[in-house]
Amino acid sequence: MKAAVLEDVKKLRVGNVPDPELNARAVVLGVRAVGVCGTDHYIFQGHSNYRVDSKGRVIPLKEQPQILGHEFCGEVLETGREVRNVKVGDLVLCDQGLNCYSSGRWPLCPYCASGDSHQCAYYQEPGITGLPGAMAEYIAMPGVNCIPVTAEIPPEQVVMSEPLACIIHACKRVEAQPARYTLEGPERVRNILITGAGPAGLLFLQYLRNVRGFAGRILISDLREKNLEIAKQFGGTPINASRTALPEAVQELTQGGRIHYLIEASGSATVFKQIPGFLAKQATVLIYGLGHTGGSLELLSNILFLEPHLVSTIGASGGFDSSGSPVIYRQSLELISAGKIKVLPIITHRYAALEDVHKSFEEDHGKHDYIKGVMSLAPR
């Protein structure tokens, strides 16, 4: 089969690779759509590498190339003999995290048993930790990780369920932990700031407004005016950080108030330099963005002085329901299908072939009009 292989930092090549192997618990999918995630861009640029050996050594791409792509859906082409939940011809959304449920391991590890399957003790992830991802013609996945798509929505919108699932998981982690300021409680969050109006920031904004029903002030900052225009349509108060420093903008827009809940979704180290100027003491800080190049740990000193409630999050864990279906991914797909979360305005760049996806990494990403790229392939 053909695949887009990242052979080294900033070196993406389309070539032939072995077809995926089918086992009793797996299905082979013809990839229908795959989202280009910010994490893919960080790996391409060399800012991140999540492939390590048993001793924790990072394995360079030139030593072991990677097929990227962890946000995907596909058509079931073949099923293993033990698969019961999907059938040939189904369009399925995939929870890409491989865990105890995926392998049928019993007893469950402590993380899977507690509903944190994305932190499985045996965790692996196609497109991230070394296993082949979905920027390819075909991919094999455990049947239990697949959710049949019954709604009439196109594959490019289906794949947006993965980033939305990450947002749902992050918000649930925040709300599950004790904090001074909460969305519901005696000392309520009044001012929220989302730094970064990229795909994650725009999904956070919609989730807080449309699903959690937060009616207070949600500020959202970015350098790109187009992104901020979309954020305003979704109910956010935009701040163009290229024109106004965040502390001054927050001071004006909150009438002297400070931020009780900060969602850092930009991956910019510059933001951390400004946080002490607008964060309330003992506020909640959700660190969602990755990358943060150009900064050092010393930036945390003045932030930690405020004694914030720090929450870090990654992926979309949340366990499996009694039917064996990934809980958070099903919720995410249902929200998009019902129109509660709008994803079409976020998809700005489309690619119709593996040979075109390199444009996202080499040309389109970083342009003023780029928010999210999705590659869609025709049915086989």
Per the structure, how many domains does the chain have? 2
Residues 297 and 214 in one domain: yes
Residues 149 and 8 in one domain: yes
Residues 88 and 216 in one domain: no
Residues 180 and 259 in one domain: yes
pLDDT (0 to 100) of residue 366? 82
Residue 322 lies in a domain: no
Is there a contact between 69 and 39 (Cβ–Cβ < 8 Å)?
Answer: no
Among candidate residues 312, 331, 357, the one where a domain is terminated: 312
Nearest in space to 72 (alpha carbons), one of 20, 116, 23:
20
pTM, whole model, 2 decimals? 0.94
Distance CA(92)–CA(75), nearest Å, equals: 6
Residues 35 and 130 in one domain: yes
Residues 301 and 172 in one domain: yes
Residues 130 and 207 in one domain: no
Residue 282 lies in a domain: yes
Residues 78 and 93 in one domain: yes
Residue 144 lies in a domain: yes
Residue 265 lies in a domain: yes
Among candidate residues 266, 294, 312, the one where a domain is terminated: 312
The 237-240 sheet, strands edge to edge = 237-240, 217-222, 191-195, 259-264, 279-287, 309-312
pLDDT (0 to 100) of residue 270? 87
Residue 112 lies in a domain: yes
pLDDT (0 to 100) of residue 23? 96
Residue 304 lies in a domain: yes
Cis, peptide link before residue 107, omega less than 30° from 0: yes
Place of tokens 């695949």: 3
Residues 34 and 121 in one domain: yes
Distance CA(260)–CA(282), nearest Å, equals: 8
Distance CA(27)–CA(36), nearest Å, equals: 23
The parent domain of residue 363 ranges over 2-160+343-376
Three-state helix/strand/coil letters over 280-333: EEEEEEEECCCCCCCCCHHHHHHHHCCCCEEEECCCCCCCECCCCCEHHHHHHH
Residues 12 and 90 in one domain: yes
Residues 187 and 299 in one domain: yes
Residues 305 and 359 in one domain: no
| pLDDT digits (tens), the chain, 380 positions | 999 999 999 999 999 999 999 999 999 999 999 999 999 998 999 988 999 888 889 999 999 999 999 999 999 999 999 999 999 999 999 999 999 999 999 999 999 999 888 899 999 999 999 999 999 999 999 999 999 999 999 999 999 999 999 999 999 999 998 899 999 888 999 999 999 999 999 999 999 999 999 999 999 999 999 999 999 999 999 999 999 999 999 999 999 899 999 999 998 888 989 999 999 999 999 999 877 777 776 778 888 889 999 999 988 877 788 777 899 999 999 999 999 999 999 999 999 999 999 999 999 988 889 999 999 998 87
pLDDT (0 to 100) of residue 292? 72
CATH code of the domain containing 262: 3.40.50.720
Burial of 160 (0-12, 13-18, 19+ CB in 10 A): buried
Residue 331 lies in a domain: no
Residue 216 lies in a domain: yes
